[in-house]
Amino acid sequence: MKTRPARKPVLAEWSEALLSQWSRFGDDEWMLDIRTAGRRADQNRVSWAVALPEGAVISENAWRALHGTAKQFLWSMTVNPPTGRKRLSPASVQSKALTLKTMIRWMALDGLEMFASIDAGAVERLRAWLLARPGNKAKSITPNTIVNYMVVLKDLYRQRAKLNDAPLVDPLPQETTYEAAGLTPATRGSIPFIPDAIAISLLNTALQWVEDHGSTIVQAETIRREARTFGLTRGSKRQASDHVRKALRRAELKSPEGEALSGAYAVRHAANHLVEACYILIAGFVGMRVSEILSMEIDAIESHPIGETGVEQAYIVARLFKTVDQHGGRLERWIAPDPVVKAVSLLEQLSAPLREASGRHELFLVKNTQYGEIVPVTQMHIGWRINDFARHVGVPLHDGKPWAFSSHQFRKTFARFIARKDRSQLLGLAGHYKHASVAMTARGYVGSDFDLRQLVDHENRAETATALERMLVSDRLAGRMGERIVAGNARFRGRAGEQVRQDYIEFVLAETDLRIHACDYGWCVFQPETSRCGGEVGPSEAGRSPSVCLSCANMVIEPQHAPYWQDRRVRNQVLLPAANGMTAAVLTEAIEQCDNVLTRIGEHDG
């Protein structure tokens, strides 16, 4: 055990510096001024008054001193961070405080009385201890979580001149924080996107709830609430319930499943699920973050003219918290398609009684069952409710199990839809958006959101890599580009060609601007000089069609596209007997195209 070094000349008044209007850095109870929407109340507090853990091998004085250093470190990162780093926000202070408290617990069990005692060996012991601890749902802690601890260790060393106690040697001299956590590009991972079949099912169902059943559910909830209020003025709660049932039966309203909304319980559940459908629609159709959606307040929809056209465009007004310096977030606007405008209107109607009772303005409110308070919906709560809605409406299983939705997945999925420009999916959404083309959807909805543009570009690169992988290993491709690839991809196939294939894909992504665009009948390996559709930076949605693409040097069709060509063939055959001579010639040509494609990809049904 090392001797405690002499105290360094630091500001003596650091502990008296204001952390928030309620707390100072030296306090044992911190109340943080965090205004990000969707956070629980306990996520705005930090308690440093923690007892020595059982099995600790350090003194009580050392235990308190370590917590004092942790608070001083967070002060230094808030008022004077390392060169090139932003000051910690209140939310970052809270998250790093939790990391430090866990690290100090380990130090007490490991016998380290000072941060100055941490060396490379201690870092390895900390990493092993963290990996042995259970994480969420009893799973081991992920490498991404360990990165948080490595970053704090590195910053403690960087801030050593400003602290009474800090690592004296670089705890990670030969590796980055990601490498120390065991993360590589292959293992780092990311938030998953929602699989296509599940995303489309969930979004379509949410759309039906909002557009086809939303007004009915709001009407039923209004009847329930007004009947109950009237009934309570005439008698007991039981009599009020009888009054509600009678009023609902007279209205003869139906749930989205076709069942009668004849009782208070059924109506309340339908109203709760409608709120969830509204959230899903906004998240899936606009691509906003969960904190941005939960920050929405009354009158969240604004309309503004588009240039000199005289056409009005609706926007959602909410708060952007990430990447901004303004405390409490910055008001921003997101383009709102018609279904989302309808969803916001329904949320305003459903939240009206809660807003009136609480004096609050948010659209996502809930009555706390423990204390009876009306509080904003948290990110954790909305995540649970999304999964509850998916179970209720019977979203398809994924690999035989229910898909575990999280609120963050919708933004990733939204970006993926735009990046793919897949007409079989995104064009359906574009139709609901009342857009003329997918390109307009992609440009308009990404807007000025730089973070979302980066996410879209990442997904576009990932889609290109996936498509290239499939093409380079396939011996059954149609389309002019597909035939060329099959003729020359022998060296990329099988296990022998795996490394060559990966190196080639990495080269294409890093050294070229090649992007592969999807549609429901094939892939476009886009090259403007050979494009038959007239596209300049990508395929032209107005100019592309199956016939045009089959004559284009950019087209690739693989077996996964067979259902489209089989369906096209059947539809043309059904029309052929009743067609006149000229139409019959066109239909016959289309059928022959389908036959040729299906033969080349080995999916011809004879």
Per residue in 153-203, pLDDT (tens digit) is: 989 998 999 999 999 888 777 656 655 555 554 444 556 788 888 999 999
3-state secondary structure of 498: helix
Check residue 455 and give its pLDDT: 59
Rounded Cα gap, residues 92 and 74, in angstroms? 9
CA distances for 127 relative to 52, 181, 498, angstroms: 21, 7, 33
Check residue 38 and give its pLDDT: 82
Alpha helices by DSSP H, 364-490? 379-393, 409-420, 426-432, 438-446, 450-473, 480-488
Residues forming a β-bridge with 427: none
3-state secondary structure of 23: coil
Check residue 435 and give its pLDDT: 36
DSSP code at position 138: G
Q: What is the pLDDT of residues 13-32, one digit of tens each?
A: 898 999 999 999 999 999 99
Q: What is the pTM of this model?
A: 0.64
Rounded Cα gap, residues 406 and 144, in angstroms? 17
Of the listed ranges 53-67, 190-204, 434-448, 464-478, the least confidently predicted one is: 434-448
Let me know: does 433 contact 441? Beta carbons within 8 Å: yes
Rounded Cα gap, residues 60 and 48, in angstroms? 14
Let me know: does 24 contact 16? Beta carbons within 8 Å: yes
Check residue 530 and give its pLDDT: 87
Of the listed ranges 73-77, 172-176, 483-487, the least confidently predicted one is: 172-176
Model confidence band, residue 426 (pLDDT cutoffs 50, 70, 90): very low
Check residue 458 and give its pLDDT: 64
Rounded Cα gap, residues 327 and 549, in angstroms? 52
